[in-house]
Amino acid sequence: MIVFNRLKKTIYHLFILVLAYYTKPTAVTMNLLYQAVQDLGGVYVKFMQFLCLRLEMFDDDVKIQFVKLYDQVDQEEMDVEEILFQELGEKRQLLKEVEKTPFATGSFAQVYKAKLQDGRSVVVKVRRADQHQKVTFDFFLMTIVCRVILLLFDFEQLDLLQLFKEFKKTTFQELEYKLELQHAQYFFEQYRNHPQIVIPETFAELCTNNVLVQEYVQGIPLTQVITWKQQRTDYHTFLEEQYGINLEMVFFSIATEVIRQHLTFDKFYGDSHPGNIILLPQNKFAFIDFGILDQTASDKKEYFTLMKTLGQPIEQLNEESMSQQFLKLGARSLYQSLEVIEKSLGQTEQSSKLTDLIKAEYAQLIADCKDSLISQELEKREDLTGLVMQIAELGKKFQIQMPTGFFNVIRSSTMFKSFTSYLAPDYHYMRQVYRELAAEYEHVPLSEKRQPRKFSFEESVETVMDWLSSIAEADLPLYLQIHGILEGKNYAK
């Protein structure tokens, strides 16, 4: 019966939304979408929040509306005492004063306050029952919904199914409390005794697949600040006078630290939504909830080089440098193959034409689009994700595909910026963050974990020829130029 009702609800809301899309104003459709997500709850709430924090297709007001659902999930009747006895056995006695009513609720868990025997305050995160089964069924329904949406609507430059696949992965990751325990311990050690950043201690002996016990961090979640903004409260003055918090300084520090993680850590904090960031007195802050961690860019040297470029004003964009960086980062096999062929041909004017021609062609595409990029910068300040995606899209015929780790770092800054810009709309800080970190790490040795694959001369020629065949119809003049260079050296015969 529960499964049938879930299916019926999903079909009903999908029908209403499709009808509204074609007959109602956008504002009405978005309101119906909000009501549908709120009614369906669970994984639907998480998915909309996932999309809102990753895409620019939603206005800031819409993003904030869905992000606020983090704090508006209905409570579920749960016998927390019985669950703790079942999960912890004799270790249950290590907890005291466990409150029966949760002080926070999420899509997959409820959180209760308690104390340890030594008096320290903790939070007890208890997973809702049968979440794996419920989420699996919801994913089945959502796959159908996504395919119907793609049939009916045209989403330019949006791979909805790929985003959904990524969301499924992170959701199941979030349900694994033992994995979250490892993540929390990793970050606790990294930031132990940090002067500005607080990571709550997680008590491994009290954690199971369904229960997580962490130190309680008392402060102001950013979701509360968003509420103050909606209520037209003078939150800037209040935070300054009562807690010594300068919101813009904190935003700059958080962004700097998340980006720094990509230069120094193997993993970074991948769930920086407002409910997981706690403001503390004197411009300190805490990260909580470590269910989602993403891999950082493996080639940190290349990331650092591109980070320096992105830190510069768009008007100073160097097309030649940018084309080379994107080719090295996003089309590594092709770029390395070109280098091998050039090296084998010898350092002559003729041999250098091959790589130079590819870089020049790509640079010209970027230059031709520069006015459009500048206009976008004036309209949407510091849309670095949009900038990177546009340049990558221009290089599609060169097999540009940004590595997951690199794309994660760009997107993480955009996720954070999407709600900080709501709270401080005139504060544009990401390029400054990049510039300051670039100066800080200019002379610091950066790891390069991934060992470049060694291409033989024959493999390199085959890679280039395969690429040539793919563009023979798409760009005949370029094909003829490169083919002519190879013909001249008898490597295309």
Total domains in the chain come to 2
Reading phi first (left if > 0) and then psi (alpha if -120 to 50, else beta), residue 410 is in alpha
The DSSP H or E segment spanning 109 is strand 109-116
In a domain, 79, yes or no: no
For residue 277, the tally of other CB atoms under 10 A from its CB is 26
In a domain, 414, yes or no: no
Tokens of 455: 């291409």
| Mean pLDDT of the region 356-376 | 87
For the stretch 377-387, pLDDT in tens is 777 677 777 78
In a domain, 7, yes or no: yes
- The pLDDT value recorded for residue 375 is 83
Task: Tell me the pairing of strands 109-116 and 104-105.
Answer: antiparallel
Please say whether the dihedral angle defined by the alpha carbons of residues 270, 275, 277 and 283, taken in this order, is positive or negative.
positive
Tokens of 83: 């669950």
pTM above 0.85, yes or no: no
In a domain, 150, yes or no: yes
Tokens of 376: 């976008």
In a domain, 371, yes or no: yes
In a domain, 124, yes or no: no
Q: Are 285 and 225 in contact (CB under 8 A)?
A: no
Length of the chain: 493
Any idea which of 16-30, 113-127, 273-287 has the lowest mean pLDDT? Answer: 16-30
For residue 19, what are the domain limits? Answer: 2-72+133-155
Tokens of 431: 């390029």
For the stretch 52-81, pLDDT in tens is 655 555 666 666 666 666 555 667 888 899
Provide DSSP, 209-266: SSEEEEE---SEEHHHHHHHHHTT--HHHHHHHHH---HHHHHHHHHHHHHHHHHH-S
| Mean pLDDT of the region 128-154 | 76
Tokens of 101: 């009513």
Task: From 124, 155, 186, give the residue that closes a domain.
Answer: 155
Tokens of 75: 């409570």
In a domain, 175, yes or no: no
In a domain, 476, yes or no: yes
Residue from 327, 336, 403, 401 nearest 362 by CA: 327
Task: Tell me the pairing of strands 95-96 and 109-116.
Answer: antiparallel
| Mean pLDDT of the region 403-421 | 71
| Mean pLDDT of the region 142-153 | 74
For the stretch 256-311, pLDDT in tens is 998 888 888 888 887 777 888 999 999 999 999 887 777 777 778 878 888 888 88
- Number of H helices and E strands in the chain, helices first, is 21, 11
